[in-house]
Chains A and B, each alone.
Chain A
């Protein structure tokens, strides 16, 4: 069965970087884009961008464009999202989600809480 398992919670200082992983299983990892979504506590979902695991091509939301990098390692079916220059308002749960044929996100990871302290 399709599963996306994310790395564990992180606590970071303001100004630092965080790298969250998303391990895929149960399907051909290279065949489906992976999206990353941020959710600040008590607030809504924000799309951050996607990565094409096959080519490595990426597309980022303008909001995160200058601070986010999405990468992948196809040999171990893992997608990564790195966010730099963390601020206290980056404290959030970050989700990865599989893109089904560019139509919708059908499977989601369990989420990774990143806490940024000043």
Chain B
């Protein structure tokens, strides 16, 4: 399968913890990478590979994976975390890349 599935919308209370998930068969073989996109801006990498966070990304962002599901966790969500989040990975063939449909995170 070449699809990655994400919940379209997720909400979290300010300061609470939220998990954004991504499901797909290819995740059994390849790590998911996570991008944050705010309106009118290009995506920004926030977590990648098994356990890596780019320089400048707050440590409240973390990732994990189990079986065919990858997760991005935001511990202590802030107002500025309100954005769309996309997972991406190679497809099952390894020859192409695929994005999840995106999750719109609302911080209440």
Q: Could you list which residues of chain A lie within 8 angstroms of chain B, going by C-beta atoms?
A: 35, 37, 44-47, 50, 59, 61-62, 95, 97, 103-106, 108-111
Contact = CB atoms under 8 A, between A and B. Distances in A.
Given A103-B48, A105-B33, A46 B43 contact: no
A contacts with B: majority SS: strand
A59 B94 CA distance: 12
Interface residues of B, number: 22
B88 interface: yes
Interface of B: 31, 33, 35, 37, 42-45, 48-49, 54, 84, 86, 88, 95-102
A65 to B, nearest CB: 11
A47 B96 contact: yes
A104 B42 contact: no
8 contacts: A45-B35, A45-B102, A47-B99, A50-B97, A103-B31, A105-B43, A106-B45, A108-B44
A14 to B, nearest CB: 26
B37 to A, nearest CB: 8
Closest 3 CB pairs of A and B: A104-B33, A108-B42, A44-B102
Contact of A95 (B43, B100, B102): B43
Contact of B97 (A35, A62, A106, A110): A35
